[in-house]
Amino acid sequence: MVHPNNLHNNSQLRAQISGVMGSTSLACWIVLLMPQLIEQWRLKSAEGIAIGFITIWFCGDLFNLVGAIWAHLLPEVVFLAVWFCVADALMIASYVYYTRFYKKKKHHHHHYHHHQQDHHAVEGHAEHEHEHGQGEREYIDESAPLLHRRRSSTLTDIALEPQYHSIFVKYILPIIFVVGCGIAGFLLSSPEPQPQPPSDPSNPIDPPPQDDIIALGPQIMGYCSALLYLGARIPQIIQNYQRKSVYGLSLLFFLFSTLGNLTYAGQIIFYRSDWNYIVLNMSWLLGSLGTIVEDVVIFAQFYIYKDNNDSIEDEERA
């Protein structure tokens, strides 16, 4: 016979693990889109991201926001849902700017600069030849400190020149930092295990309530949101296959997504694993675990097309 104290301790341990996973998932969601936005800013291009991907994802977050408001959830939950939509809007705005406006601006500047070069070449060919050696020496003299700066470990250099940094610095260290923030957030906000699970049925951070009744409206919103999340990555997978490249995509973006979905699903399962509870949370589990499968496909594309990125980069800079 199992002693009641053992059952109580086991329940507390599961609740603590669930809380840590939920806090880590929250940290992932907050910083999720930042790596991709930084990548697009670094390359001054959004050709790598599929517009269908971010548009469908935005619709999924809209359904999530409607569900949060419909269920009268806590203000911080609604605020997080609003943040998802704002972040998606920033991603869409970045895509529109770099594919519509910046490309035209860049083309005009390149044409003007090329014309100016031809004009100066005709007028000052002799002076150019005379000063060429001195200019070359100046470039060589300045290259050493530039290389030193590129190989430094500042956040700016990591963002602007990721090719000069190790896998640990680019990917593992940010993940460790986010997980650490998640654990610290749990310890600071919930020092004592909660006796009851949260009561927010469509909360993207906390698991739905412990009772076996969930309002129909938020449940419908949950399934609609899950279906949209599942469908969002399909345009991205197709575009990567057609381009035979993942150039312009941030691997850290998808790593945060996978980690966030894993910890989110783990939070639900660790808190309660009885059948009724799993069925009631099926929409959120489907949306989180299902997208992980699609992320694995994208990870495979990162590996398969890694040698094609250099040629795509040359074309983008031409």
**For residue range 21-52, what is the model confidence (pLDDT) as tens digits?**
989 999 999 999 999 999 999 999 999 999 99
- Asked whether 250 and 46 are in contact (CB, 8 A), the reply is no
Rounded Cα gap, residues 250 and 42, in angstroms: 11
**In this model, does residue 111 exceed pLDDT 90?**
no
pLDDT-derived band at 215, boundaries 50, 70, 90:
confident
Contacts 24+ apart (CB under 8 A), 165-174: 170/252, 171/251, 171/252, 171/255, 174/35, 174/252
Rounded Cα gap, residues 74 and 211, in angstroms: 18
CA distances from residue 52 to 37, 91, 95, 155 in whole angstroms, order as listed: 16, 12, 11, 31
- Asked whether 236 and 172 are in contact (CB, 8 A), the reply is no
Lookup: tokens for 192: 């004592």
pLDDT in tens, 225-247: 999 999 999 999 999 999 999 99
Q: What is the pLDDT of residue 274?
A: 80
pLDDT in tens, 99-109: 988 866 665 44
- Asked whether 91 and 36 are in contact (CB, 8 A), the reply is yes
To the question of pTM greater than 0.85 for the whole model, the response is no
